[in-house]
Amino acid sequence: MRTREKLKSIYTALLECYGPQYWWPGETPFEVMIGAILTQSAAWGNVEKAIGNLKAAGKLSAASLQDIPIGDLAKLIYPSGYYNAKAKKLKALVEWLGRYGDDLSRLDTRDTAELRQELLGVHGVGPETVDSILLYALNRPVFVIDAYTRRLFSRLGIKPEKDTYEGWRALFMDNLPSDVGVFNEYHALIVRQGKEKCGKQPRCDGCCLVEGCASGK
DNA sequence: ACCCAGGGTCATA
DNA sequence: TATGACCATGGG
């Protein structure tokens, strides 16, 4: 079976097993962008606490985060871990937003590839974070690669020629329709599946994809 | 007590 | 360009 067919059938299987995931959890595109930084190597539950703190303090806006002292910001996002490092990253992100008058709609006319390059230049924004922002905050058709993606598809025997972020990204984007909805749901389903635990192993990357797996359908 | 969570930066070779 | 140290809380 060709790669294209496999990716499609895996998507279908995951969707049937878990249903739509309704990503990204976040009320506004700005909140999604902030969450993309805060969730770096952190459990989402801790990120929710941090975002809750920001909301409660009335600081969940670009202007507020531009004004707040970095030390105060670090305290608010404490639960998400790496709070000093992430406070600096959030500052860099809202400083970048300031170049557009804190107005995300001004990004609408920008070419996706150029926007991606520009965001990659912002401190704290790496390849996974930028694709998360592009897809889940700005509705651009890009595929997000993470550790779950590499682990799952490696075990299923699907790998890019070059084992790099860009290699993995191209593997999916070249073999799937360029559809925001599909890219959104596929990544969310991969993460959902990656967190799943069947009785046999702590991580069974075959659940719903391999017959006989305990948590399979 | 250990392991890892929806990564990225920076210094070093 | 390719590793490794570092950033740090909280749940299993």
Which pLDDT value is given to residue A1? 75
Band of pLDDT at residue A197, cut at 50, 70 and 90: confident
Band of pLDDT at residue A198, cut at 50, 70 and 90: low
pTM over 0.75: yes
Average pLDDT, chain A: 93
Band of pLDDT at residue A216, cut at 50, 70 and 90: very low
Nucleotide nearest to A191 (CA to C1'): B6
Which pLDDT value is given to residue A210? 64
Rounded Cα–Cα distance for residues A56 and A75 (Å): 13
Q: Tell me the Cα Rg of chain A.
A: 18
Give yes or no for CB of A124 within 7 Å of strand B.
Answer: yes
Pull the structure tokens for residue A67: 């004004």
**pLDDT surpasses 60 at A214:** no
pLDDT (tens digit per residue) in A20-65 = 999 999 999 999 999 999 999 999 999 999 999 999 999 999 999 9
Report, in ranges, which bases of strand B sit under 7 Å from a protein C-beta.
4-10
Nucleotide nearest to A203 (CA to C1'): B4
Which pLDDT value is given to residue A44? 98
Which pLDDT value is given to residue A15? 96
Give yes or no for CB of A178 within 7 Å of strand C.
Answer: no
Which pLDDT value is given to residue A215? 41
Which pLDDT value is given to residue A217? 39
Provide the b/e sequence for A150-186 (b: ≥16 CB within 10 Å). Answer: bebbeeeebebeeeebeebbbbbeebbeeeeebbbbb
Rounded Cα–Cα distance for residues A62 and A90 (Å): 9
Give yes or no for CB of A46 within 7 Å of strand C.
Answer: yes
Q: How far is the CA of A109 from the C1' of C4 (A)?
A: 41
Give yes or no for CB of A71 within 7 Å of strand B.
Answer: no
pLDDT (tens digit per residue) in A102-137 = 999 999 999 999 999 999 999 999 999 999 999 999
Rounded Cα–Cα distance for residues A18 and A53 (Å): 31
Q: Running DSSP on this structure, what letter comes out for residue A162?
A: S
**Three-state DSSP class for residue A2:** coil
Which pLDDT value is given to residue A68? 98
